[in-house]
Structure 1
């Protein structure tokens, strides 16, 4: 009789996988060294996550910011601006800062290896755009315009995150983020 996977153990292992990937990157991700570093076996990683691609997908899902929560009660441009500023702070100074590095790696790898990383990268973009576009629709923008503005916010802030990681010029990048957020709700 097959054993049922322990959901608590699986969740703990997934958190450890995310932390490992944040520290070591995903470009040369190999299950054997990861398992050894996590104090488990490659067999157990496969048992809990299926395969390397599924492990990566689940790690990305687990590391994604909860934008639905940040943008849930947005009904005015002012509330949108406040939510977007909160998101920016979380991405650059808060608990999501480490996850940004992981996301940027996946997006970059998707360009050169779309078979392995393309679906994860598209999903990462889509799940960020969705809640922001919904908030912009609630404010009164037509769906197509709301989606374009959400793309501006997601892609623009992501690019600014990369700029900040590379240049360490926080003041310039923060000022650019303010401009971008204001542009998203400008008429």
Structure 2
């Protein structure tokens, strides 16, 4: 017999798949539950609310930046890890789920009461783990924050552009330019 945690984890995986395919803008718990083969009551039991469900779906579906960049010891390893992140969000296991994050980021400016804090937390959760990596490579605090933001937000924006335009060649080139710029040691500001 599976535990409550196993059932919840399985349901969360199904929720992530559902939201990546159908979006969050018109998300209503009862129809979502029906499509997932469960009940609104069970969604509320496991997640508490619609907004908490979306927050957990984002957390479960975003790349683990701390893990991807854990063993970075020099700028070559930093560049390799950045390419691994790019691969994950464009062709790997985060390819579909990252669309949930894009939806929240897109809704935050027009529905700030519902999505602004969620969007800000999602961005922070991806940028902050990268700041110490840049610091360890000798970048000062401000430059480490700037480069972490450039890398994460830049790749996210390029990924969204790739989804919208389908122009893989242009975007792949832009990703390379961005990764090289964000990881270069030349012109390092202390």
TM-score interval w.r.t. the shorter chain?
A: over 0.9
Q: Which runs of 5+ in 2 are unaligned?
A: none
- Structure with bigger helix share is 1
For 1:94 and 1:14, locate their aligned partners in 2 and report how far apart those are by CA, in whole Å: 19
Aligned position for 1:110: 108
Aligned partner of 1:94 in structure 2 is 92
In structure 1, the partner of 2:52 is 54
Superposed, 1:19-98 pairs within 5 Å as 19-98=17-96
1:135 corresponding residue in structure 2: 133
The list of structure 1 runs, each at least 4 consecutive aligned residues, that deviate by more than 4 angstroms after superposition, is none
The offset of 1:101, in angstroms, is 1.1
Following superposition, the deviation at residue 16 of structure 1 comes to: 0.9
Displacement of 1:149 after TM fit?
0.6
1 CA distance for matches of 2:162 and 2:62? Answer: 19
TM-score (norm 1): 0.95
- RMSD of equivalent CA atoms: 1.1
Q: CA offset at residue 144 of structure 1?
A: 1.3
Partners of 1:97 and 1:59 in 2: how far apart?
14
Q: Could you tell me how far apart the structure 2 residues matched to 1:112 and 1:69 are?
A: 33
Shift of residue 185 of structure 1? Answer: 2.3
Q: Deviations over 1:73-126 (max 9, x none)?
A: 112111110000110011101011012211110100111111111121111101
1:8 aligns with one of 6, 9, 13: 6
Give the alignment of 1:96-175 within 5 angstroms: 96-175=94-173
